[in-house]
Amino acid sequence: MAIKPNTQTGNNPELIKSVLGARILVVDDMALMRQMIGMCLSRGGYKNIVYADDGDEALKMIEADMPDIVILDLNMPRVSGYEVARTLRADSRYEGLPILVQSASETPEERVEVFAAGATDFVSKPINQPELLARVQMHLQNRFLIESLTDFRARMQSELVMARDMQQSLLPETPSVREIERASGTKLESFYRASFELGGDLWGCWLLPGDCLGLFVLDIAGHGVGAALNTFRVHATMARFQRARSDPARFLTELNNILVPSFPLGQFATMFYAVLNYKTGDMTYAGAGAPRPMVIGDKGVRLLDSTGIPVGIVKKPGYVNIEDKLQPDESLFCYSDVLIEAPQPDGQMLGEDGLIAWVEEEASKPGRNNLVSRLLRRFFEGQPTSLPDDLTAVAVHPDRECRK
């Protein structure tokens, strides 16, 4: 059977080039065998072939310049083929290096031993040349495909990490949070964790005239790149209407006006925005379908009404302001839905009632100012490290000395 140049690598010219340019190390103590295998490979179109006389030399050559595949004889003086395979497999640098073993005796026991030593594949002697070429080609293709996929994956991963960091940079920074705390005499406890994919959570807080502070949480439906990009859009849009910040319903309405035409169908943001007078406790808020925030006092929890059509869906959502008053012992707690929707170890979701029970339990213990971190510690005990969606939790705790 005639040996044709190796062109059976599909339609990918880059892959054909990589395969034929691959560095192949032929290890055999018999000069005749090295020559024969080398000739077979050159006829198959391979140009970069190097040789080693025994296992010891092979290991040195691999160390100096890693080949793309090793064609390995088993029975050699000094260091045998088995030892070469074992040595290579014990080293993580050579994890993906294909080892094609050639051997004359071929008992089932020997095959088992060859694979146990770490060989990728097996050809028997006398060498059947088309078979050798077919196997070399297959393993090189696999190697290059896996390599390019691994590279691609690593690149995507690093881009996602960068995007996640950028998204995180939209959140209030510690110095500005400290400044708000100092000016308002409150304690702001906040937590944010991005999901394994990109997500669409955002929260923010700012000081307003008349002893007030504004606090919003929002969650863009879905996740992935689309939701994340819209987070940036929303953040940039919000900066435009500073004057509406003291009026929650107006703030949501103006945001909605801009987002309705620009959000794609099916995408929207659930939101809650409150303006709190930190001296009197008077609070005005408006909701757009965010999970109902909790007001946590010494005697228990009450829920705020955040009902409303999410931002970005309809032209006239009809947001309304609701008045409330925080008592000196009361904290405001806002969170994103993954907290109540993520499956717990029993497979059930916590739900709003479940979360209220947790909050009441934790609130009865000392240390209101770290209530959120205690809640989340409990939450994460039952969670895998990666969440299905972004998690945001923010609380404004009163400084009881300040607000009388």
Partner 1 sequence: MEYQITTKDNVASIVFSGDITFSENVSFRQLLKDIAEQPVNRCEFDLSGVDMVDSAGLGMFLIAREQADTAGWKLAVTGAQGHVASMLKLTKLADLLDG
* Buried residues in 104-116 as b, exposed as e (16+ CB within 10 A): eeeeeeeeeebee
Query: Of 289, 372, 394, 395, which one interacts with partner 1 (CB under 8 A)?
Result: 289
> How far is it, in rounded angstroms, from Cα 72 to Cα 163?
45
Is 368 an interacting residue with respect to partner 1 (CB under 8 A)?
Answer: no
Residue 202 class from Cβ within 10 Å (0-12 exposed, 13-18 middle, 19+ buried)?
buried
Contact code string over 331-350 relative to partner 1, x by CB under 8 A: ------x---x-------x-
Residue 89 class from Cβ within 10 Å (0-12 exposed, 13-18 middle, 19+ buried)?
middle
**Whose Cβ is closer to partner 1: residue 111's or residue 302's?**
302
Q: How far is the CB of 167 from partner 1 (least distance, A)?
A: 17
Kindly give the pairing relationship between strand 300-303 and strand 391-398. unpaired
**Whose Cβ is closer to partner 1: residue 68's or residue 219's?**
219
Is 268 an interacting residue with respect to partner 1 (CB under 8 A)?
Answer: yes
Contact code string over 41-80 relative to partner 1, x by CB under 8 A: ----------------------------------------
For partner 1, which stretch binds (CB under 8 A), given 10-18, 59-67, 114-122, 267-275? 267-275
Q: How far is the CB of 315 from partner 1 (least distance, A)?
A: 12
The residue type of 109 is E
**Whose Cβ is closer to partner 1: residue 77's or residue 351's?**
351
Number of residues located near partner 1, criterion CB under 8 A: 26
- Three-state secondary-structure class, residue 280: coil
Residue in the structure block whose two tokens are 């881009």 = 159
Helix (H) or strand (E) holding 71: strand 69-73
State how far Cα 391 lies from the chain centre: 14
Is 293 an interacting residue with respect to partner 1 (CB under 8 A)?
Answer: no
- Three-state secondary-structure class, residue 404: coil
CA neighbor of 103 nearest in space, from 68, 87, 91, 84: 84
Is 270 an interacting residue with respect to partner 1 (CB under 8 A)?
Answer: yes
Query: Of 98, 172, 291, 398, which one interacts with partner 1 (CB under 8 A)?
Result: 291
Is 211 an interacting residue with respect to partner 1 (CB under 8 A)?
Answer: no
C-beta of residue 314 within 8 angstroms of C-beta of residue 348: no
Residues contributing to the site for partner 1 (CB under 8 A): 219, 221-223, 265-268, 270, 289, 291-292, 306-310, 313-314, 337, 341, 349, 351-352, 388-389
